[in-house]
Structure 1
């Protein structure tokens, strides 16, 4: 009898509520059954994977052009067109021109966004899985 304990961090701290946590737990359980880690004959065999598959070179790490408060227009899983506004960064509240906007460099899916709503210039706002190679493709891992 082999037992394994593991911890899975699936979402950011600000992205979780009771309904999402329950859906994520159910999805994780179904994945474990599909992979043969857990035996549960009551669950149907899953169909073929139909999600997005892309090389790491297609990931756009979207750096903040200015520091400030982030107001997102997108959430993980959203499909966006090239040029769509992804977020607004407010760096001088109440002042004319006190914010800047961040737009999608290409069409794709929003993979992640940061949980904190305050950002420094140069920090990554979000990850976009593009339909093509990123103009700013990074080699190696996406994050340190």
Structure 2
């Protein structure tokens, strides 16, 4: 069943983005934990934890403890802030009512005329009909 309103489409898009962000965060956390714990166990097997952090395994071998910490430093905040990130990435459309998608003007009470959802402050006609006039420079010319 296809979503009918813009709010439903936005909610589904946010859900897809949220699960994608959480998947990336879970992969970063899992790989980071593996790399850090791998070095920890290597140090325990050698009998010296300090060597586990500083010993390189071979030529061209990266220092996986630092890589693991970097993955954890990115993955954990990403997992914690995933909902905010999804809201930031998929914003509600600015045009129209977020509940029903009506794109016309709101009524005088600030509600959507189609579904009755509150759309914020009531509109004031006095502000929209005020005309900007040219400044009167006649007093300056008379000086």
TM-score normalized with structure 2 length: 0.22
Q: Which has the higher helix share?
A: 2
Structure with the larger strand share: 1
Larger Rg: 2
